[in-house]
Amino acid sequence: MAIITVPRGTVDLLPSDMSIWKRMEKTAEEVCRLYNYGEIRTPMFEATDLFQRGVGETTDIVQKEMYTFTDRGNRSLTLRPEGTAPVVRSYVENKMYGDPNQPVKLYYCGPMFRYERPQAGRQRQFTQFGVEAIGSDDPHIDAEVISLALEFYKRLGLKQLKLVINSLGDLDSRKKHREALIRHFSPAIGEFCEDCQNRLERNPLRILDCKVDREHPLIQSAPSILDYLNESSKAFFHAVKEALDDMGITYEVDPTLVRGLDYYHHTTFEIMGADFGAITTLCGGGRYNGLVEEFGGPRVSGIGFGLSFERVILAMKAEGLEVSGSRTLDCFFAPIGEKARAVATKLLYACRKAGISADMDYMDRKVKAQFKQADRLGARFVAVLGDDEIARHVLSIKDMETGEQVDVEEDQIIDYLKTKLED
């Protein structure tokens, strides 16, 4: 009989995994508090149309990666594949553009879903932490968002980080560049791989970072987006770089950095980490114009990023950082016999009530095995209680670190443990 397992591309997070997850959640929360971003939680599923229009019909996400289903009311819904579209939807729906506090700065943490073949750093359900700053055209907010992501990683101890930035320019610049690329590649597109031939009309920028054709001379000589930026786009990109310089953040400009989602304009960026298999992108983000308008809001732009907790863990492991955490216990009760068990139970709950973490044996183990169990649980103290102790109204408390053992009056045990634990 085959057992039922988790769905493909999903995992269980077990108690031994939770320490690093809590750390990441707390770090995200703390950094966002310092940067003054407020938490938002949107539903795990949305109208399918939200992603089709928001992310873009031509993107891989929409074309082949969405978990789409029809509910009993015959509505087409989709498990969210990314966080920006839902946040912008909520921004518009809740009329946050009318909030006197502008720009609106939001962050979210939660599961995202994409139907892909799983591999290292890629799952069908994964967890994203992301921020969105909506309503400002100030290039300084781009730099703020980037620095927030870097700060998050730094606080978790990651050092091997590389920031790559680029500008796609405004709509006008993008259009001109796209035309230039198509002109550039069209005559010889037959020499390129099948993927690139498909990319020509769909997204010619992608040809630039094709792994198959990277040696092709036309790639080296391809027109750079940076040469097609109009004056205002150039000025904007310059200002973003200047702001990063002012913050002491180092970066690399990569004119071939193309992000997979249709909504990006101007600033795009990625943060790469230490090698963990084929994937090194930890975080991706950029500025989007037109998205708010698309969903019925005013003509404002936003900038944000998304990063995956799963990849943080992989990067930490690749850098040799500790990601496991062991639980500890203040006191383990080791009763001997039925009478002792009753007394131990009473004291066990008294400890817990007093804020001392405590547990006891429920497997009817021998004393020796109870000590072994206490040791495994990382218990600081073991409280032994047999007929002898009961008769004298004491417990024999053993300090598992020092090995010293003393008798403590039954009604003194809470005070005794508290004092000892405070040292």
Partner RNA sequence: GCGGUUGUGGCGAAGUGGUCUAACGCACCGGAUUGUGGAUCCGGCAUUCGUGGGUUCGAAACCCAUCAACCGCCCCA
**Interface residues toward RNA, by CB under 7 A:** 2, 5-6, 8-9, 11, 59-61, 82, 114, 116-124, 126, 128, 195, 199, 206, 209-212, 258-261, 277-279, 281-284, 306-308, 310-311, 336, 365-369, 371-376, 382, 384-389, 396, 398, 400-401, 403, 405
With b for 16 or more beta-carbon neighbours within 10 A and e for fewer, the 72-106 pattern comes to eeeeebbbbbbbbbbbbbbbbeeebbeeeeebbbb
- In the complex, least distance from residue 76 CB atom to RNA, rounded to whole angstroms: 19
Of the pair 277, 298, the CB lying nearest RNA is at 277
Query: Quick one: tokens of 162?
Result: 């590389």
Nearest approach in angstroms of CB 312 to RNA is 9
DSSP state of 321: -
Phi, psi of 28 (to 5 degrees): -60, -45
Q: 21 vs 97, which CB is nearer to RNA?
A: 21
Taking the complex as a whole, the smallest distance from the CB of residue 296 to RNA amounts, in Å, to 24
- Minimum distance between the CB of residue 210 and RNA, rounded to whole angstroms? 6
Output 9 or 110, the one with its CB closest to RNA: 9
Distance CA 26, CA 325 (A): 15
Beta bridge partners of 332: 359, 382
CB of 117 to RNA, least distance (A): 4
| Peptide bond connecting 103 to the previous residue in cis, omega within 30 degrees of 0 | yes
The C-alpha atoms of residue 51 and residue 303 are separated, in whole angstroms, by 17
Min. distance of Cβ 160 from RNA in angstroms?
Answer: 15
In the bound state with RNA, the residue whose beta carbon lies nearer, of 71 and 401, is 401
Q: How far is the CB of 190 from RNA (least distance, A)?
A: 18
Distance (Å, whole) CA 365 – CA 359: 14
CB nearer to RNA: pick between 236 and 371: 371
- The DSSP code for 12 is P
Of the pair 239, 249, the CB lying nearest RNA is at 249
Based on DSSP, count helices (H) and strands (E) in the chain, helices before strands. Answer: 15, 16
* Nearest distance from C-beta of residue 235 to RNA, angstroms: 26
Q: Which of 396, 331, 389 is nearest to 360 (CA)?
A: 331
Instruction: Provide the terminal-to-terminal Cα distance of the chain, rounded to the nearest Å.
Output: 53
Asked if 407 and 395 touch (Cβ cutoff 8 Å), the reply is yes
Q: Exposure of 389 by Cβ count < 10 A (0-12 exposed, 13-18 middle, 19+ buried)?
A: buried
Backbone angles phi, psi at 162, to 5 degrees: -130, 125
In the bound state with RNA, the residue whose beta carbon lies nearer, of 105 and 311, is 311
The DSSP letter of residue 207 is: G
Shortest distance, position 68 Cβ to RNA, whole Å:
14
Which C-beta is closer to RNA: that of 160 or that of 405? Answer: 405
Residue 214 is classified by DSSP as T
How far is the C-alpha of 27 from the C-alpha of 156, rounded, in Å? Answer: 8
State the Cα–Cα distance between residues 377 and 223, nearest whole angstrom: 62
Cβ-based nearer residue to RNA, 82 or 144:
82
